[in-house]
């Protein structure tokens, strides 16, 4: 018998398991900055935090990543809500689009 405290916290709380996928993050970083018109090529995988159910100090699931250059990545960390308004982006929709198109996550789903 598995004791509840031995189960991952996400399962105990009824939340989806946090996916860790270095391959998906590498794939996300191969894209340009998600901010319209930005040509910077120093791309980072930004984990969308708003609504991700990640607590303080917890990184959201890797499937919640979007491509941002270093400058815009720093700006997003200053406040995602303001960032989305300032740059007319829906980070959740964008992260979902990356996850849906990711060949790495598709392979993972097929098992």
Residue ranges of alpha helices (H) inside 1-111 are 9-12, 22-29, 70-77, 80-87, 91-101, 103-110
Question: For the residues 41-60, what does the mean pLDDT come to?
Answer: 78
Which helix (H) or strand (E) segment holds residue 43: the answer is strand 43-47
- Residue 92's pLDDT is 93
Distance CA 53, CA 32 (A): 27
pLDDT band at 16 (very low <50, low <70, confident <90, very high): low
By the 8 A CB rule, do 31 and 43 touch? yes
Distance CA 28, CA 68 (A): 9
- Domain parsing of the chain, residue ranges: 19-110
Distance CA 61, CA 42 (A): 22
- Residue 7's pLDDT is 46
Distance CA 111, CA 108 (A): 5
- Residue 88's pLDDT is 97
pLDDT band at 54 (very low <50, low <70, confident <90, very high): low
């Amino acid at each position: 018998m598995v004791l509840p405290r031995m189960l991952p916290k996400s399962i105990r709380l009824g939340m989806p398991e946090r996916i860790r996928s270095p391959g998906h993050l590498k794939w996300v970083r191969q894209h340009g900055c998600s901010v319209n018109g930005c040509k910077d090529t120093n791309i980072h995988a930004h984990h969308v935090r708003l609504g991700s159910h990640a607590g303080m100090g917890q990184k959201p699931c890797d499937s919640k990543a979007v491509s941002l250059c270093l400058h815009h990545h720093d700006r997003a960390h200053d406040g995602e809500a303001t960032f989305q308004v300032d740059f007319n982006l829906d980070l959740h929709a964008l992260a979902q689009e990356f996850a849906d198109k990711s060949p790495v996550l598709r392979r993972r789903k097929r098992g």
